[in-house]
Structure 1
Amino acid sequence: MGTATRYRAAFNDPDAVRHSVPTFPWNSAPEGLATRRQLRTQGLRPGGQDIAGQILWRGVGGVRAAYLYRVALALPKRTATPAQLDAIAKALRARRTCSTCHTVRSYYIPGRYGECLTCAGKEQ
């Protein structure tokens, strides 16, 4: 039995005997279950439903997990209101405005300087 087989067997628990939820190894989730990222690509969100399963794999720093949700219970993604979009635009503009010369720059003002690169004397 190879290392990959032992690894997949350690994370294969579809009946939730060893783990608190059904657990699957990488690339082995059954149809009808999806991660948040997979739901998002379909224009969906979990919508408050409980976790239906998890995928476990060995990654940087140890064992990693991705939670699975039922696609059938997922809800459409919400869209931002015009007021929310306006607030985001104002916040992003504030991040580009120098506190010293009040110029709106094409880049975000570095936090370490607190002012644009010209005022900080870092621009060449």
Structure 2
Amino acid sequence: MRLRRADLFDPTGERFGIPTFPWRMAPDGYATRRQLRAAGLRPGGQQVAAQCLRPRRRRGPLVAYLYHIDQAKPVRPMTPARWTALAKANAARRVCPGCGRDAGYVIPASLGTCVPCAYPQGEAHGIAA
């Protein structure tokens, strides 16, 4: 189905089920999650109120879900316990499961271990031992 910009304007939601607008043409009062976060807000449990669509050639349209700004709630503040939990989680991402040392960087998921454990002979990126 080839969508044109005019096909994407459906403010009543008859065609797509929810109000739909062309990309970058959402009316005032709606915002995406990122826009809410930049304003210090969160959706706060509300359902998606509308969407913006942008036609793409191969894989279907790009979708941006929109929420009512007036129903959004303030972002919950970070408590000392949440900061501690976040620090522990980030520290755990730096510990190599192979040797148990702090690698000094986040262990790449593609390797699963630190670089010295993944390439014990110095074979990484053409380095010969």
TM-score interval (norm. to shorter): 0.7 to 0.9
Equivalenced residue count is: 120
In structure 2, the partner of 1:3 is none
CA RMSD, Structure 1 to Structure 2 (Å): 2.3
1:1-124 superposed matches below 5 A:
7-59=4-56, 61-120=59-118, 121=120, 122=122
- Helix, strand or coil: the match of 1:72? coil
Counterpart of 1:57 in structure 2: which amino acid? R
The 3 A distance-change label for structure 1 pair 88 and 9 is: same
Equivalent residues of 2:5, 2:55 under 8 A apart: no
| TM-score, structure 2 as length reference | 0.79
Alignment identity in percent? 48
In structure 2, C-alpha distance between the alignment counterparts of 1:27 and 1:7, rounded to whole Å: 14
- Helix, strand or coil: the match of 2:61? strand
Shift of 1:113: 4.5
- Structure 1 unaligned spans of 5+: 1-5
Please, which moves more after superposition, 79-88 or 16-25?
Answer: 79-88
Shift of 1:112: 4.9
The 3 A distance-change label for structure 1 pair 43 and 99 is: same
In structure 2, C-alpha distance between the alignment counterparts of 1:32 and 1:39, rounded to whole Å: 11
| TM-score, structure 1 as length reference | 0.81
Counterpart of 1:82 in structure 2: which amino acid? P
